[in-house]
Amino acid sequence: MLNECQEYAVAKFLKRYDYSAILDILEEADINSGDLYYLTESCMYSMNFEFKKSLNSLNKISDDFLNLKGLSKVRDNLENLINGEVDDILSELIENIRIQIINREYIDFLGRLYRVKEALLKYIFVSTKENKKYKIDMNSYMLSKKNILYTLKKKYNIYNANLIHGINNYVNKYVRKTKKMEKALNIINNLKLENLMKLRNDSPIGHGFKGVSKEEIENIYANPLEVMRDLVKACELLDLDIEVEKYDNINEILVHMIGRKENF
């Protein structure tokens, strides 16, 4: 059972979505199994995109507890993530962006932002090709950088080693854009996002060694959380269903479990 100090520490770490730290506290309290432990472990794996391990931990939860509406939805979400469902993958990436902003992890935020922009353009490329009968799997070879660059070169005579630039060239030359797609592309390629990409390129996850401060980001986006909102809007314009409250909803369940004065 957790004491009051441990409960307070867990509550603080939940606000930072630091599930690894919470697991350490649970283990110190000799809680090494049970619903609370496995749900926390599932979140830790999911945050690191280890979705199969996350699902395995979730499936260790008792049937009665797992049948709660919220957790059944989490299980479906993990299965979709494993299967590369577009909506779920982009939702996970965008929610990660929000969490990294909250935790002031600005270099990681820029790295994840680059992945979202790239993923959206990959989706646009594959979904606008002439054969639309196949199901889009974000984990498939079809959406790999190597395959898309090869297709751009061999089929569309676009020679560009930069995936983002190559897909934008393809869209400008070959895609009959709807008004919604034009609006989405305007968000994805707007100057503010491009300026954030420049910060990313100069950082250790790009090509340099410069740090990234909150002030630098705010000089580009007055409120960094607006980046996330813009990306959600771009996804909606592309008819993608985005949800960015998964971990907040799970945290509410965890808080309720921690407040119960019993062994977990």
Other CB atoms within 10 A of residue 153 CB: 14
- Give 25-45 pLDDT, tens digit per residue: 999 999 999 999 999 999 999
Q: Where does the pLDDT of residue 11 fall: very low under 50, low under 70, confident under 90, or very high at 90 and above?
A: very high
- 69-82 vs 246-259: helix axis angle to the nearest 10? 140
What phi and psi, each to the nearest 5 degrees, are found at residue 219?
A: -65, -25
Higher model confidence: residue 255 or residue 70?
Answer: 255
- H-type alpha helices, the chain: 4-15, 19-28, 35-47, 51-58, 63-66, 69-82, 86-102, 106-127, 145-156, 163-174, 179-188, 191-201, 214-220, 225-237, 246-259
For residue 188, give both structure tokens: 């994805």
Q: How far is CA 46 from CA 6, 39, 166, 243, 244, in A?
A: 23, 11, 31, 15, 14
Q: Whats the size of the chain, residue-wise?
A: 264
- Give 206-229 pLDDT, tens digit per residue: 889 999 999 999 999 988 899 999
How much is the pTM?
A: 0.92
Q: Where does the pLDDT of residue 67 fall: very low under 50, low under 70, confident under 90, or very high at 90 and above?
A: confident
For residue 108, pLDDT over 90 is answered with: yes
- Give 173-198 pLDDT, tens digit per residue: 999 999 999 999 999 999 999 999 99
For residue 260, pLDDT over 80 is answered with: no
Identify the pLDDT of residue 131.
57
Higher model confidence: residue 79 or residue 134?
Answer: 79
CA distance linking residue 114 with residue 97, whole number of Å: 10
Buried/exposed 35-56: b ≥16 CB within 10 Å, e otherwise? bbbbbbbbbbbbbeeebebbbe
Q: Letter for the amino acid at 101?
A: I
Identify the pLDDT of residue 115.
94
Secondary structure letter of residue 141 according to DSSP: G
118 CB-near residues (< 8 Å, 6+ apart): 163, 164
Higher model confidence: residue 67 or residue 82?
Answer: 82
Q: Where does the pLDDT of residue 49 fall: very low under 50, low under 70, confident under 90, or very high at 90 and above?
A: very high
**C-alpha dihedral, 45 to 238 to 229 to 185, nearest 10°:** 110
- Give 12-28 pLDDT, tens digit per residue: 999 999 999 999 999 99
CA distance linking residue 123 with residue 128, whole number of Å: 8
CA distance linking residue 155 with residue 182, whole number of Å: 23
Burial class (CB in 10 A: 0-12, 13-18, 19+), 9: middle
Q: What is the mean pLDDT of the chain?
A: 92
Identify the pLDDT of residue 135.
81
Identify the pLDDT of residue 263.
43
For residue 166, give both structure tokens: 């190559």
CA distance linking residue 58 with residue 42, whole number of Å: 6
For residue 132, pLDDT over 80 is answered with: no
Identify the pLDDT of residue 13.
96
For residue 81, give both structure tokens: 């993530």
